[in-house]
Amino acid sequence: MRVLWQFVLVGLASAAIPLSVAAQGIQYDKIELIPEKIAPNLTMLAGNKDVDPGHPDGAGGRIGVLHGPDGVLVVDSQYGQVADKVMAAIKRVSPAPIRILVNTHIHIDHTGGNAAFGKAGATIYAREELREQMIHPARRADGSPGLAREPAGYPVVTYGLGEPVKIHMNGEIVEFIPVRAAHTGGDTIVKFTNANTIMIGDFYRNFGYPYIDTLNGGSLQGLIDALDLTMKLAKPDTKLIPGHGTIIKRNDIAPYRDMIAAVQGKVRAMIAQGATEQQVLAAKLTSPYDAKVPGGLLPAGGGGTSADRFVSAVYQELKRGG
C-alpha cells in the first residue's frame, strides 16, 4: 500500500530520537557530511542520522555542490559549528575555488556557515528579505532576542520576487527562483536545468509536518503556492531535493499538498463554529495522516508535536484572515 507521500525514511517507532541524543543536543563533533552524486557535476552533501535532535533523519540542512572548471557553486552552508567539515567535504568533491553560495532560506542549519564562505571569497546570493533577517533577526517565540549573525556571512547580491537570477556555470544553467513567503519570508528554489534537478529548501518536508515559520515571515498560502510552483517547474522525472529527507518526484508533491489543504479546511470549519486554538488542537485533525508521517508526533518547537505546531500555524493564519 502506497503511503500518503513518498517516504523512504524509517517509521515512527524506529524514528524516535535516542534519549542520549535528545539530552545532549546537537552533537556537532559527530556530524559527518555524506556525498550523493546527482549528476556528473552535481553532488549533494547530507548530514548523518541521530546526532541532531531537530533533524534525526539527517543532521542539518542538505548542501548542493555544482563543480567544474568554472569553480564551485554551493547551495546552503549548514551549521556554523561544522563549517570546517563542510569546507573539507566540498574540497573532496572538487578542489576548485568556491565562487558562489546561495541560501534557500534563513534558518541556521542552512546559513550558519555563511561567514566561512564569505571569508573564503565566495559571493553570497539570497533574497533581500533574508539579508534583512540576518541584519535584524526576528525575536524568538519566547520573546528573547534573535541570533546575531557575523557580517561576513551576509548576502552581497540580493533579489526580490520576480524573474529568477540565472547563473551560467560549469555547463549548467542555475536559476535562483524566488517564491512567495512560504516556509519563511525569504525562500528560494534552486533549479539546475541540465541536471533536471531542483532544490526546494524546507517548504516541503518528508519528516514531520510542514513548518511555517511565521516569526520569519512564512505563510500557509505561500507554502501552498510554492508547492504549486514546484509542480509547474518540474518534469515527471525531475529530482526534487528537499532541505531534509528523501529525494522525491513531482507526483509526490500532490498528496502532500492535498493533506495541507484538507487540514486547512478542517481548521477553517472549526473556526467558523467558534472553536479556540486549544479546542482545534484537541481535535487531533492530523490523526488520519499521523501513522504515515515519520516524525509527525515527535516533539517540535513550542512544547508540542510537529503536528501541533503545524495545526497551530494554520489556525493562527486563518484567524488573521489568511
Gyration radius (Cα) of the chain, Å: 19
Report pLDDT for 147.
87
Residue 279 cell numbers, joined? 479546542
Report pLDDT for 1.
31
Residue 159 cell numbers, joined? 533579489
Report pLDDT for 80.
97
Q: Dihedral of CA 284/285/287/293: which sign? A: negative
Whether residue 211 contacts residue 309, with contact meaning beta carbons closer than 8 Å, is answered with yes
Q: First-to-last CA distance in the chain? A: 35
Report pLDDT for 15.
33
The residues of the chain scoring below 50 in pLDDT are: 1-23
β-pairing, 157-159 with 239-242? Answer: unpaired
3-state secondary structure of 313: helix
Quote the CA–CA distance of 51 and 121 in Å, as a whole number. 30
Q: Dihedral of CA 50/53/58/60: which sign? A: negative
Q: Which domains does the chain possess?
A: 12-262 (3.60.15.10)
Report pLDDT for 58.
94
Count of other CB atoms within 10 angstroms of residue 88: 11
